[in-house]
Amino acid sequence: MKTFTDKRRNASSDGGNSGFKMKQLPFMGVICSVTLYIVYRTTNYQYYETQMETKLHPFDSVEDNELPSGKLKDLPRGIMHTRSDLELRHQWRKSLRSAVKVNTNKNLLAMPVGIKQKEHVDDVVKKFRTENFTIVLFHYDGKVDGWWDLDWCDKAIHIVAHNQTKWWFAKRFLHPDIVSTYDYIFLWDEDLGVEHFNPGRYLEIVKSEGLEISQPALDPNSTEIHHRITIRSRMKKFHRRVYELRGKTRCSNISEGPPCSGFVEGMAPVFSRAAWRCAWHLIQNDLVHGWGMDMKLGYCAQGDRTKNVGVIDREYIVHKGIQTLGGTGELTKKTKKKRGTSSGSSGLDTRAEIRRQSTWELKIFKERWNQAVTQDKDWIDPFPRQQRRRKHKRQSKFVDLYD
């Protein structure tokens, strides 16, 4: 049985607790208000950031004529987008400034690379990083860990597949819808010297001359120059054709096709967005070396290939002629002989096998092209060269030997 003293003590205790709770109410109100304010500001900031990103890097909604027939009816139309990119995305945002920086990349450099050519690749990437290019490296030897000491490595996209070629990678990872946000796509080999090359100045020339497909000229001292049209002319800013009166391939004033005009080689091509959409479809899924494709790239020039395809002389490169995929990753025998060095290499070199495979692929590609032309009754060749050849054959003894 409780006494009167116990009751007073309990009442006093209850009153104290009530008073403490009353004192807590204003403090809790302040905490709730601050929390709500933070949530509001965070939500508003994220919305503003999303709006900024949309303006800086817009994605077009799917139009009716872009929808695969009957395949995407389960999704609401407005949620589907046709375009993406290869930009790295933060899992969290540090600031709006960082988001703006990420989305200002408008051009893409993609290269197949091996660890033995790390020094050459580093020189190339540094040139392009100063112009804010997006960098994609295709690692054909799988040795990605050896690149992390380079200061730009974590800002590049790294794709690994053992012993695959540049065209294999490009077909699978540079789909036109993925790279459609980039104005120009540089699809380069790794053994190129860029001491005399500036990407920004190069693109200024390309844009001013309206070139859809281009390449930098090759220094005359380069190794393994296959076509005269790619050699640098010291007196020109750029050129679209070449005249050659000697050798197997003769180029005269009536030669209007590859490799005399409308031609770039496969080692360092540069494509506009529209030209790449066409060229990507030209790449055969199973023919990985790309032989013969350079002779047909002019069909992707978005018009007259003799005008829209060119070689830039003012910004030129050096082809080092280093065997990489399928080789030793060192100088070719031809280059070593030229430089007075011995091969110093033992063991099996698979370059002979690769050359046989490439030759076979060239034959298959030609057959596929001819078959496609025959089967597509609606397709009209925009470059009917046979007719022009017959017309001008009597006017010149030089004829274009490439069909």
Task: Provide the Cα torsion 226, 326, 333, 258; round to 10°.
Answer: 0
Q: What percent of the chain has pLDDT over 70?
A: 71
pLDDT of amino acid 47: 55
Which class is domain 107-319? alpha beta
pLDDT of amino acid 386: 44
pLDDT of amino acid 21: 54
pLDDT of amino acid 19: 57
pLDDT of amino acid 344: 41
Decide: 171 and 283 in contact? Cβ < 8 Å.
yes
Q: pTM here?
A: 0.73
Sequence spans of domains, the chain: 107-319
pLDDT tens figures, 185-208: 999 999 999 999 999 999 999 999
Cα–Cα distance measured from residue 139 to residue 148, given in angstroms and rounded to the nearest whole number: 13
**Which regions of the chain are under pLDDT 70?**
1-25, 27, 39-40, 42-70, 93-105, 247, 323-349, 385-403
Residues facing 238 on adjacent strands: 312
Residues facing 214 on adjacent strands: 270, 310
Cα–Cα distance measured from residue 42 to residue 40, given in angstroms and rounded to the nearest whole number: 5
Element (H, E) at 205: helix 199-209
Q: List the structure tokens of 15.
A: 């009153």
Q: List the structure tokens of 314.
A: 């003012």
Decide: 397 and 403 in contact? Cβ < 8 Å.
no
Element (H, E) at 214: strand 213-218
